[in-house]
Amino acid sequence: MKITSKGQVTIPVEIREKLGLIPNTEVEFEVIGDAVYLRKAKVNFNSAKNLVERMRGKATVKMTTDEIMALTRQDK
């Protein structure tokens, strides 16, 4: 495997699937001796909470909660 001129490498699909590394997953690197370890970053709940707060009130579809629940449950 080669590093691109931008310092990028491709994580093999088998490893991504095994670790649940989907697009936009935060990862951390750790250097120990001459080895580099990659792992999923710990979830920062404050960051997730801030995201929810920023998104609150941004919906553009005017639906009632009952209408949304019917769609998610595929009620007819």
Provide the residue ranges of all domains of the chain, joining segments of one domain with +. 13-73
pTM for this predicted structure: 0.51
Q: How far is CA 74 from CA 10, 38, 50, 60, in A?
A: 39, 40, 31, 21
pLDDT tens track for 11-20: 999 999 998 8
pLDDT tens track for 6-57: 999 999 999 999 988 998 888 999 999 999 999 988 876 677 777 788 788 8
Give the number of other CB atoms < 10 A from CB of residue 76.
4
